[in-house]
Structure 1
């Protein structure tokens, strides 16, 4: 088979969710609704944290960063998919595909590392409460976020450059709703051994590292909770990290379900469908999890709403 130089490729075809034309309007409405809920919900979290001085703490600082990353994470895939549905197009340009790979990996990695940083924050708050505000200073919090961005910018850049070195055959059909890295590599006519080695190594480092940090932090938290004598005290301590633990469980269960399930591994359709869970559903649910289980967030949102022009308290 004759190879094409990768610089001559002009487009890929995104085929997932486009095989049944009669379902396109329904798919469009569903994904548009989920995207708007995701953006609106996470923006509310950011506004609540930024507008309320009571929430200017390390925990809510990291939460607002996570909300911003979730908005960006979903925005790397869904708007392009909605545009393709609306225009009845399956095309994504080569340049746009590489760009999508870069930002998708960037924000997925940031989600992972920020969850680990938030776990460390909960560990410090519960296990070292007296030194918490001294250790988790604004300077350290800013450095942790800056380090997370720097590491993931380099991480995603590495993968993008590795894709740029590949040549592709005439079959440029991606059976996914976005340019998923593994799907793009499978289309290459070049030797992808080095790409796969980089993927395995970087996934173990940037995926396994934060996960190990989360496990360590929560093992210390559980050990600290078991040392509390009263049931009320245990519940109060556990409630401070229940929302974060819910988000962590949702994130890793969906990601591991996508990449470790044998049925999904051998089915492009199943992989694309499962990917919706952590690319769309999880960022959409995060604001609900944090707001519904967090009294401070609910109070802040209420104060923010009452402070809006034209909003008056009901007369009793």
Structure 2
């Protein structure tokens, strides 16, 4: 039997560590660029679950990887995630007024500042990964940078967002939605476990298991998000809900129905757990993260 760990407490501990790291990496500034730094901090230091950093840190812990390296890689990943949220919230994208329980960056500042804050968060991520403080081995740093660029770019998160924006020209079916979300949401979740394997020098079988886990969990996470969008409480979630329905966009819930979407999440969750079997009790926290995703569907 592995050690019994309070999952919610561990999740909060990791979120706090990442927030402290981001606070140090994005210090307040004076002078002409002060508003830009304030906007970056507004986006990056807001309350959030920090799930992507959580997956990176917990997966890396299975290989006894150095926590400093994992934490800096996790901070870089969260910078990319926060940049994507800032840009997704813009009027030319999803046009959202609230994110993580506070006004979105373009509402708290202005659109131009929001664009630049997102740009700056993205570039900061690569500065963090390129530093020797992240890892002494230049090959490891280069691999982390290469894989984040792939995961965040045209064949990853940004590509998924583009598919999302093109729905009026090409209505969504289940295959299109699945591909879109594997890129838009799943790519950075997959990077989290891949980066952990890179830092932890995981073997091929272990890397393959982590990839299978993160692919299934990433899709389950998005379907759970669609279920929250359809059935959740705006105050509890911290952002506007029913956006796809109001915009007439298809998603997993509109195509599968609420019960069908929940069944799909359960199937993906079961598969995700099976991928972790080779790690035995070392994967206890990651196994609990699957249950956390399931809990979001009700």
| Bigger relative CO (Cα 8 Å, ≥ 6 apart) | 1
- TM-score relative to the length of structure 2: 0.29
